[in-house]
Chains A and B, each alone.
Chain A
Amino acid sequence: MITKRLLLGDEALALGAVNAGLSGVYAYPGTPSTEITEFIQEDALARQRGVHSHWSTNEKTAMEEALGMSFCGKRAMVCMKHVGMNVAADGFVNSAMTGANGGLVVVAADDPSMHSSQNEQDSRFYSNFAFIPTLEPSTQQEAYDMMPYAFRFSEEHGIPVLMRMVTRLAHSRAVVETSDAIEENKLSYPKNTRQWVLMPGNSKVRYKQLLKDWDDCVKASEVSPFNKYIDAADHSRGIIANGIAYNYLMECFPDGCPWPVLKISQYPLPQALIDRMAKECGEIFVIEEGQPFIEERLRGMLGTPLPIYGKLTGHLPRTGELNPDFVREALGLPQLERKGASQVVMPRPPALCQGCSHRDVYTALNATLAEFESPKVFGDIGCYTLGWLTPFNAIDSVVDMGASISMAKGAADAGQFPSVAIIGDSTFTHSGMTPLLDAINENSNIMVIISDNLTTGMTGGQDSQGTGKLEQICIGLGADPAHVRTIDALPKTHEQMMQIFRDELAYNGVSVVVARRECIQTARRHAAAAAKAAKK
């Protein structure tokens, strides 16, 4: 039965996966991908079927856990934000070498414009060099429709499939027509067992096959229901638009585009369709959301020297996400009539919530470090990244998940003192445990503050995998129990916190201070839920 629901792009994808017989989703929270897993955690059918949806410790464990499920013949999905691909990369790239048994879909949600990220990397480059076919929906409906297709494709071709989302589609709602769910796969094992053991002898054989299969994937792209060649009368120009960029193009032409359009939503690039455009059109304009992936490849694909315009030629901006206005301008259409921008509006950057425990930690840390000449504080990824902004100005670096501890160690190796790392609880278990082991093994002179708010705060308050065991983890890694300290992070513990920081900075070795208090957002939610329960 077809039903209509108003869904975010992320939710449409999630529901599509569940209805396509998904047996497990594996993910670490990350904007703009978080809502996929959250949707599956709440979905009635997924719950009834017991579809796995517990959060993983990081993207690499998620990737490999999904690969394990695929090995056993069931349909599995991994979800992450684009920079999560860097963490999952080892498993991701090598999953092309093992191939998939049960359908395996990897979702990477890219963030052009860096709405909530540190860079604009484009996941299509990963899938291209790994030889993993890729789907890129234009609409919420396509995000839904692509999931059964992706799982089927993965099983038929014996290869994982990358699903590339972008923020604007992930976080935009539209009406989606949904269909009935199919059954999950039964347990079954790979027929070709050798390619799952990536020893050189096996890999050399498999790699040749992978390259051969890639030709089939090109052919599949050429007949894909998601790649469309829409001819038009004026052949002076042809336009190639990928994923959501296609929407911005069509927004400019409500009555149809006057030039032929090739909509790309499946990769590898459909060579035959591109050849047709090159043969029939006088020039090619590439409108691309993300880095100029198609545009760069096009320059090496065409038989004839044809003018190609896009981001590399400055016709569209190299940075940030596209929008209908950029596309209008690039194609030489007049802008819509409008008045000028306001003269009084000021930027309003985000800030730590009032009452947030990270505030108390930074206040105490700043006061303590004021007693030193040249302290350096290495920050990490999470709400507490906002500690860089005024009024705290408390951190000197933020790079990637876990880098606070590794950089503090490297700085201490260079002779820096005090060298302080500040990291959240969820980021610590994601990627902070291994650098802490490095520091412990060399007795590096660093102080690590784990600002433990008992949740993954920035992405909306998901479970944190280290909750209740942070001190045990640090001691288990070899930290001296006398220098693993715990303190409630509150305004009233300011003096105690300062004293602990002072003591641990005076200790020549690795110390860990767990400054703990529940996130103010999740605490409010828990209080409201408790009040509601009490009423009943």
Chain B
Amino acid sequence: MKTDIVLAGVGGQGILSIATILGAAALKEDLYIKQAEVHGMSQRGGDVQSNLRISSSPIASDLIPRGGADLIVSLEPMEALRYVEFLKPQGWIVTSTVPFINIDNYPEQDRVAAELAAWHNTVAFDMDEVAKQVATARSSNMVLLGAAAPFIEIEVEKIEDGIRTVFGAKGEKIVESNIAAFRAGLDFTRKLIADRG
């Protein structure tokens, strides 16, 4: 197996915890992992991304080549579009539709939505809303992880184990809340795929 993922968002949104969970799951499965992160100045509200590569055979580069990614996983719709050049033509975009507007020239939201829709292989919905319904607003990144899970070649149960590992120290309540958010995201994508036939 080999899944190359571009994780995207705005500094402070929490995309790195997604990487941490998938990393923990992949490590347990004895898979190869490379995960390049952004630290430093960009974390102050700038655009941030992480290249996460998981494979059953050794991985050479820490960076994914343009046209090489299977998946863009984003907490912000414009940030998802920033990396479309990295996606394979048949790759998937999984993103929350909630914009993070901290710049004056943020594009019209209709244009962002139109570009996302034009990609076809897109899973885009209001992940804050889903998170609020099943857990807390802060678990929208776990909704996102769930929504992306069907495109990642790691069993769902193993990813849930990863969530338990990463959040375990914070107590059972937090773990269950995050797993509920994860499952809500997972259900959304599974239903979407089933509807597409």
Contact = CB atoms under 8 A, between A and B. Distances in A.
A248 interface: yes
A383 B44 CA distance: 9
Contacts of A352: 44
B172 interface: no
Given A173-B23, A324-B61, A339-B89, A346 B107 contact: yes
A350 B10 CA distance: 9
Chain A contact residues, majority secondary structure = loop
A504 B85 CA distance: 54
Contacts of B108: 344
Contact of A339 (B32, B36, B45, B87): B87
B176 interface: no
A213 interface: no
B115 A343 contact: yes
Interface centre among B32, B38, B61, B111 (most CB of A within 10 A): B61
A6 B27 contact: yes
A348 B82 CA distance: 10
B1 interface: no
Interface in A152-186: 168-169, 171-175
Interface residues on chain A, size class = 35 or more
A162 B41 CA distance: 26
Interface string B1-26: 00000000011000000010001100
Nearest to B62: A172
Contacts of B67: 335-338
B84 A171 contact: no
A335 B65 CA distance: 9
Interface in B52-104: 59-68, 78-79, 81-82, 84-89, 102-103
B190 interface: no
Interface in A389-447: none
A348 B46 contact: yes
A248 B89 contact: no
Contacts of B10: 348
Contact of B88 (A335, A338, A353): A338
B87 A344 contact: no
Contacts of B102: 348, 351
A171 B39 contact: yes
Contacts of B46: 348-351
A424 to B, nearest CB: 14
A250 interface: yes
B27 A168 contact: no
A324 B33 CA distance: 17
B37 interface: yes
A244 B62 contact: yes
A518 interface: no
A458 B60 contact: no
Given A323-B63, A324-B63, A350-B45, A115 B40 contact: yes
Contacts of B115: 342-344
Given A4-B27, A171-B36, A348-B46, A340 B85 contact: yes
A345 B81 contact: yes
A35 interface: yes
Contacts of A346: 78, 103, 105-107
Given A6-B24, A351-B44, A460-B39, 5 more contacts: A248-B60, A338-B86, A344-B111, A345-B107, A458-B40
Interface of B: 10-11, 19, 23-24, 27, 32-47, 59-68, 78-79, 81-82, 84-89, 102-103, 105-108, 111-112, 115
20 contacts: A4-B27, A6-B24, A31-B41, A168-B63, A172-B34, A173-B37, A175-B32, A250-B60, A251-B65, A337-B89, A338-B67, A338-B89, A344-B78, A344-B108, A345-B81, A347-B47, A348-B10, A348-B103, A350-B11, A458-B40
**4 closest Cβ contacts across the A-B interface?**
A336-B67, A116-B40, A338-B67, A350-B46
